[in-house]
Structure 1
Amino acid sequence: MNKWEAKFGFFWYNDDELFKFTQKDFDEKAKRIADAGINIVMTFSCTHFRWTFYRYWDRILRCIEMTVKACHKYGIKVVEHHSSHLTFNPQCQDDWDYMERILHARGSSIASWEGLAETVNDDICINGKPISSFRQIDGRTGKHAWSNYRGYCMCFNNPDYRQAYFQYLERVYQTGVDGIMTDDVQYFAQGHACACEYCRRLFKEETGYDLPEPGKAWEAFWRDYDNPVYIAWERFRRKSTERFQRAVNRHFEDLGLHLLRPNYVSGALNSNPTAYCFDMGSDLWDWIFQENCFSTLIRVSWPYWYVESLHRYALARKHGVPSMSLFYPDREDSYYFVWALAQSWGQMLTVTPEGYDLSSIEKKYRTFEKKYDRIYSDQQKIAPVALLFSLNNAYYVKAQKHTEEIFGFGQGMYLSNIPVDMVFDDDPLEKLEEYAMIVLPNLVMLDELQITRLRKYAEQGGMLFITGLPGIKAQDGTTRPLEKVLSLLGITSVPKKVTAEPSNFTVKYDGEESGTILGQQSEYIFEDAQNKGFLFAEKGVAGIWEKVGKGRIYWIPSGLSLDILRPLNADRFQRTEVRVQTPPNNADNIKKTMRLLMSPVKKALPVAFEKIAEDRVATVYLSSDKKKLIVHVVNTENVYPKTPVMIGHSDLVPSFVSDYRPKESEDTVLRLREDFQISKAVLISPENKEEIGIPVSVQEGSYVLSIPMESFYSYAAIVCDLE
């Protein structure tokens, strides 16, 4: 299938489907989903922790088979999705209550499964091996590792587990599924797994190192990021999960099957103690998407999820596959909001409330997408700035600041309507040269080839914007002198370390003061560098620029303190709604900071907004055929509360309810970059029955568009035909 034509949905099979449905019921459910415009479903089930339901596999497989038969009848492909190894193993009343809440949210209960309560902790035998022998081992204790889900977990290097799981997968494939998502391929025990006999032996074979024994030796070893043995073990854990996912592909390919492999992860940018291999195995995935987690409050969490979308979009583009967002809306206002976000992020969308589907609401928006498929399919991002995201710095640097700055830069530019993209450690020079500026946010760990490549980018006319002390660690965790790194980059100024203290930074590009950044920390100062300074602390020059070849390098060795907007959780697995207080809204601060710091790319912006309401966020793309310029505008007025209030999942998204009208507004005026020549512009929105023509004029050599305030209220795309 054409992957960009896929319209994803979820097919839940819970108690009704497992115990009551006839084939006719499955057919009727599949028809409803197809009528909503969905042509591919991922299954989800109360039996997600599949090994907990080992005794019921025959029933589950019959249900999957009937699901496949029904979906295929209506042209829907089916991707079976379950946890590859997690189990419930309740040890106390809290654990039992947790298990019951999860099952209840997914349309089931412990009592639904005859004998489950009595057998859930049994040490069943598979192929003559007790299931307990499959488990991950906690390096601290030498005992079975405990997961985040009140149960045990299995080791991907354990050959007996692999044999048993692949045998189960063969049975799944026999039901006729079109794809497989083997979920939760992760190590647990808070980052202390796995230290089983198989992992110890493989680690020794591959690295020459021995893992320490439990107790004090392990405590001294764990999280010692200056120890090459620890760095090697962290890399080994991720290699192990990657190797397992590749083995899944080889297994079904050896069976003569060509299965679809969508995959998602919630947080790819943070340090991940579970060793999830999402990036490392990304060439396996047919759709690369993010889970914007079930319990996070959409109204508050969307700026955070936007930065994750930068990663998925860039990773998907790298492999020529679509990027997607998974959200959990449960009403039309929340659905419309996340639909608008996903389109404006250049992503496909899939949604599900936990336990059921939203096909009745989706139809309107899926129909709109289909009508404007040439706009929404495979959008090509235009951005003058890219953030360099580094797995090495996210995963293998102690107390890393890289991720925090990624989110700060990303949110600040997004909310300021500065288009931003993402690049990766291994991207070639040709990719870097697509951008006017590359931001290096606290990249402590760099290899010399990468440093050389970045210097070449600057020499050929690019701008590097560096924070922190770049490249002072090699990939094995050993240190590298800063002076050597500066020599490789072509930087001649060496900062002086001073006593760290709070400071405001004054921004002066080309000697002209433009504003002040509050709440920073001054730890490094440049002496005798007034003529090179662009950032000034109370003690002296905090940031310098240097000309390198045809380009420039901007450097702030103290780094930046960026007060980001974080996701907010309200547990949705409780029987009554959980309400929580929203954090302070710091959007104005990070917007001001980014507008000041990104002044050097102002002329490279594809679209400049001469007038736009403060809470409207805009993103810019080309259509897949490069014939249309697309500007998405999302109205976020009062979505993220301006002051702390108590909210829950039931609260409406204010600017996306059907009767919303802005209190005050004015026409939006945007100016296109001089190299964009257009023949016409129209506005499209699900709120309007027809396209609306947009007045266009030429002023001072640029096309200027004026968008009437009443032409849309919540979301619109301005589509310009390029000449």
Structure 2
Amino acid sequence: MKTIINRRDFIKSSALVVAGTGLGNQLYSAVAEHPFLSITPDQRLITAPDIPFRPRRVASWWNTLDDLLWSQKVIKDKVKRRAEGFASAHIDTAMNYGFHVRFDYSNYFGRLNEYFHFVKEELNQYDIKFIEHYSCNHVHRPRGKEEREKLHRTHRHHVLLFHDPEAAEHAQYEGHLFRDLVEVDIIDGSRGYARQYQMEAFCHNNPGFLDMHQKYLERLIKEVDFDGYEIDDMCDYVGLRACGCKYCRERFKRDYGHEFPPVTDTNFWGDITKPMLQWGNYGNPVFRDWIKMKDDIIADHVTMVKKVIGNKPLFTCCSSTGPIILNSISLNLERIADKLDFYMLENVGINIRSVNWGEMDAEALQQKDIAEKRGNSPAIALSYTIYPDGGYLGWSLARFWGVANWASTFQHRVYEEDPADSMETEDMIRPYNNWEMKLSDLNHHQSKDLPEVRLVYNYYCRINGWKDQKGVEHWNKTKMWSKKFLENNIGYRILRYKELSDVNCLLSEKSPLLLDGVASLSDNQYNAIEKYVSRGGTLWVSLPFGTHDEKGNLRKKPLSDILINSKRKNLKLIDSISDNDNVFQQFVLDKSFSPIVRQVSGDIGWVVRLRDYKGKRVIHFMNTNMKAVPHPTVKDIGQSPVLSRIESSIKNNVLKFEIDTKQFDITKLNLYSPELGDQSREIHLSRARGKTILEVDLTGIRVYAVAQ
């Protein structure tokens, strides 16, 4: 059995994801409802995001244990050399990396802060922003020699300097003993332990921990004053085994009116002989309330952090926010989105499966939508790599998705030791950033996607644990549609739960709505959908629809019964894509739908994404049929071979596309790619029957190209 677990393992995937001025005014929320609480009009006033700068080319600033030798000359010289290297690679934002599990270094905070301040000053000389990045709520506490050895094999990137068992009993900061702040294991009353990372977890609801974290943040701001803050692990990696502390029990009673049940209560816990991620009975409203309370606790922690850092940008790590399984670790970006300023999609994979990037398209567009609906906030895609082709893949995906690229080498997370030929991040990303600056400087912050369909993902289905009779959840259905749209060059976007309850938002675009498996639906959402349909909006829907309310309670009568009785021609009932793969053809062949792009010749495998850059029409090409060449010896922590090189499996790369001229008018384009160097290729365009015929030769290109 696989024993190495990471963030993507929680969502059963390991593919590569590469998913203005600060305002002080108030924004009125576009939605009157909230998934958990009764909200007054005043509470719907939310603070606008703080966006003092917009990252485009981000890279990790890796720290090592040697940096604790600050302020020796060799460390100062290294910082100056690397800052100059970042500038030569046109990196505009550096992300602090290493010294990650921050309270492990509480004895060294003064020295670290002096070092961080020096790094910031050097980077700022080149107009490079320096963003802090650390895990706030853990300390490494391996249990026994085997766990300690495992930690040193698999998590060296954290810069390991943790307390030994004797010292750990006395470790503290600002008068708070760490042992008094940790979560309580519900099963045996021990300290909450995240076995996948060999860490004990502080309770987000413990007032002592919140006081300690606040005081640390205040010191960090005073002594360093970073340009922004990514504060990680706003979730609970101990999962459903925690937290049984007195503060969490009291809050469950106070906020939700429930006593905490014993672990013998199978009506609440389900079968606890199963893996922890499968615990819980979502048919029990008390269990659903507990899941929601755990999210509330983390949201309050994020709120405190934002209050302390003020108008500096705040964000946190997140590899996905769609699947039900994330309820078990309280990883819920939707719940805290209104408290953040930047949004990142994290990849934790560097192995050969990275080339299967298409399955991550839904996550990328979902988080991009979260960012756009939050005042068009920056979205950042983090890609880890060891070798140049992995960095190129991540850079390409960021351009394809229209988000900022965060490049990061990840040597210290390969198994046991780093390869001798590993590269620094700035050296790996330099050729791609410099090519971009010279030949294709497209600013995604000034771009607009062209969605032809709005694919609905309703958060209520996730938080209430809904699955259909075959055990398929709403997010899986959403991803199946996403994959079909991607493979067939149909532009789409993810439409989420708040927008689904606002009829004006629904009517603001002409593209159809597609709902598959939206069982949990609020009255506000249904009313908005019904008005949208009554005013001529096209709705594709599969059952079940509205069988449960937003709290997960079964309705006496499904809302689908009412909707179907309207018998409107623009209401189109279809099978679920998880039951009938042919339903996609039913959608695209319907006379009400007219795709912008259709491939008419050449091998399938290249996909396109259309984008408008302030009136400049651009087509991005991305390969979905790549072949990963594994490194012969280097493996990741799960023992999968690391990606060494990328080859293309597409044979016929001479492609012809038919483009609807009315929807996407183009007159002259040339093809560019880093794989062509400084050269470009002419793209042949002709007109026929209201269509533009585009002929392009992608021969010799393995990963990415752009027509501009």
Fold match by TM threshold 0.5: yes
Report how far residue 633 of structure 1 moved: 1.0
| Structure 1 partner of 2:146 | 94
Deviation at 1:373, TM superposition (A): 3.1
Shift of 1:24: 2.5
Alpha-carbon offset, residue 72 of structure 1: 1.9
Q: Using the alignment, how far apart are the partners of 1:654 and 1:647 within structure 2?
A: 18
In 1, Cα distance between equivalents of 2:652 and 2:187: 60
Q: Is this contact kept in 1: 2:58–2:95, CA < 8 A? A: yes
The letter for the 2-side match of 1:632 is H
Matches within 5 A, 1:482-497: 483-489=557-563, 491-492=564-565
Q: In the alignment, what sits opposite 2:208?
A: 160
Counterpart code for 2:313: L
Q: Contact between 1:5 and 1:377, CA under 8 Å: does it hold in 2? A: no
- The offset of 1:105, in angstroms, is 4.7
Where 1:191 maps in the other structure, the secondary structure is: helix
SS in structure 2 at match of 1:698: strand
Q: Secondary structure at the match of 1:669?
A: strand
Task: Establish whether residue 331 from structure 1 lines up as the match of residue 384 from structure 2.
Answer: no
Residue aligning to 2:60:
10
Cα deviation code 1:228-261 (max 9, x no counterpart): 22222211111111111111111222xxxx2122
Matches within 5 A, 1:109-188: 116-117=163-164, 119=166, 121-147=168-194, 148-173=196-221, 174-188=223-237
Tell me if the contact between 2:452 and 2:491 (Cα under 8 Å) persists in the aligned partners.
yes
Q: Distance in 2 between matches of 1:647 and 1:637?
A: 20
- C-alpha spacing 1:143/1:406, structure 2 compared with 1 (3 Å): same
Q: Separation in 1 of the partners of 2:237 and 2:344?
A: 22
In structure 1, the residue matched to 2:463 is 395
Q: 1:714 to 1:277 in 2, by over 3 A?
A: closer
Residue 398 (structure 1) shift:
4.5
Does residue 278 (structure 1) correspond to residue 333 (structure 2)? The answer is: yes
Q: CA offset at residue 134 of structure 1?
A: 0.9
Q: Structure 1 stretch 54-63 or stretch 181-190: which is displaced more?
A: 54-63
| Bigger Cα displacement from structure 2, 461-470 vs 304-313 | 461-470
1:613 paired with 2:603, answer yes
Counting aligned pairs with the same residue, the percent is 20
Deviates more, 1:155-164 or 1:127-136: 127-136
Deviations 1:587-627 (A, max 9, x none): xxx7x76345433378432222222421111112222x2x1
Residue 360 (1) aligns with residue 378 (2): no
Within the alignment, does 1:233 sit opposite 2:281 as a pair? no
Q: Retained in 2: the 8 A contact 1:389–1:425?
A: yes
Q: Where does residue 708 of structure 1 map in the other structure? A: 697
In the alignment, is the contact (CA less than 8 A) between 1:262 and 1:285 conserved in 2?
A: yes
Cα separation, 1, equivalents of 2:349 and 2:700: 33
Q: Distance in 2 between matches of 1:613 and 1:375?
A: 30
Q: Which amino acid aligns with 1:251?
A: V
Look up the match of 2:437.
Answer: 370
1:54-76 Cα shifts (integer Å, max 9, x gaps): 22333322322222222222222
Question: Residue 129 of structure 2 corresponds to which residue in structure 1?
Answer: 77
Equivalent position of 1:68 in the other structure:
120
What corresponds to 1:467 in structure 2? 542
Alpha carbons of structure 1 residues 691 and 652: separation in structure 2 relative to 1, 3 Å? closer
Give distance in 2, aligned partners of 1:595 and 1:429. 28
Q: Does the CA-based 8 Å contact 2:386-2:409 persist in structure 1?
A: yes
Which residue number in structure 1 is paired with residue 407 of structure 2?
351
Q: Which moved more, 1:395-404 or 1:209-218?
A: 209-218
**Could you say which residue in structure 2 is the equivalent of 1:259?**
312
- Residue 204 of structure 1 corresponds to which residue in structure 2? 253
Deviation, 1:683, is 2.4
Q: Is the 8 A contact 1:68 1:78 kept in 2?
A: yes
1:404 pairs with 2:476: yes
Does structure 2 conserve the Cα–Cα contact (< 8 Å) formed by 1:241 and 1:276? no
- Give the equivalent residue in structure 1 for 2:280: 223
Q: 1:542 maps to which residue?
A: none
Bigger radius of gyration among the two: 1
From 314, 321, 324, the counterpart of 2:377:
321
Judged with a 3 Å threshold, the aligned counterparts in structure 2 of structure 1 residues 343 and 698 are, in CA distance, closer, same or farther, namely: same
Per the alignment, residue 310 of structure 1 pairs with 365
> Following the alignment from structure 1 to structure 2, what is the Cα–Cα distance between the partners of residues 692 and 553?
43
Q: Deviations over 1:444-475 (max 9, x none)?
A: 21111211212222233333232341111122
For the pair 1:457 / 2:532, whether they are aligned, the reply is yes
Distance 1:601 1:227, change over 3 A: farther
* Structure 2 counterpart of 1:702, one-letter code: K
2:108 to 44, 56, 60: 56
2:594 paired with 1:594: no
Secondary structure of 2:707's aligned partner: strand
Counterpart-to-counterpart distance in 1, 2:333 and 2:620: 29
Distance 1:345 1:693 in 2: 24
Q: Does 1:443 align with 2:523?
A: no
1:35 corresponds to which residue? 88
Aligned residues: 613
| 3-state SS of paired residue (1:707) | strand
| CA displacement, residues 379-398 of structure 1 (integer Å, 9 cap, x when unaligned) | 31112112211221112124
Contact kept, 8 Å, 1:621 with 1:630, in 2: the verdict is yes
Counterpart contact for 1:386–1:422, Cα < 8 Å: yes
Deviation of 1:649 after TM superposition, in Å, equals: 1.3
Partner amino acid, structure 2, of 1:424: R
Report the secondary structure of 1:422's partner residue.
strand
In the alignment, residue 183 of structure 2 is paired with which amino acid?
Q
The match for 1:554 among 562, 573, 590 is: 573
Determine if contact 1:386/1:435 at 8 Å carries over to the other structure. Answer: no
Q: Distance in 2 between matches of 1:466 and 1:302?
A: 27
Alpha-carbon distance in 2 for matches of 1:426, 1:460: 20
Distance 1:37 1:86 in 2: 34
Secondary structure of residue in 1 paired with 2:334? coil
Contact in 1 for aligned 2:626/2:703 (Cα 8 Å): no
Aligned-partner Cα distance in 2 for 1:665–1:609:
12
Q: Which residue number in structure 2 is paired with residue 22 of structure 1?
A: 75
User: Do 2:231 and 2:315's aligned partners in 1 also have CA atoms closer than 8 Å?
Assistant: no
Question: What is the CA distance between 1:266 and its match in structure 2?
Answer: 0.7
Q: 1:602 to 1:555 in 2, by over 3 A?
A: closer
Deviations 1:107-139 (A, max 9, x none): x556xx7xx446563242444443222111233
Task: In structure 2, list runs of 5 or more residues that go unmatched.
Answer: 1-19, 21-51, 271-278, 413-422, 630-638
Per the alignment, residue 349 of structure 2 pairs with 294
Question: Counterpart of 1:13 in structure 2: which amino acid?
Answer: N
Structure 1: which 5+ runs fail to align?
493-545, 563-589, 656-660
CA distance in 1, matches of 2:114, 2:584: 55
| Counterparts of 1:392 and 1:159, CA distance in 2 | 30
Rounded to whole Å, the distance in 2 between the matches of 1:610 and 1:325 is 32
Give the Cα–Cα distance (whole angstroms) in 1 for the partners of residues 678 and 174 of structure 2.
Answer: 61
Kept in 2: contact 1:140–1:218 (CA 8 A): no
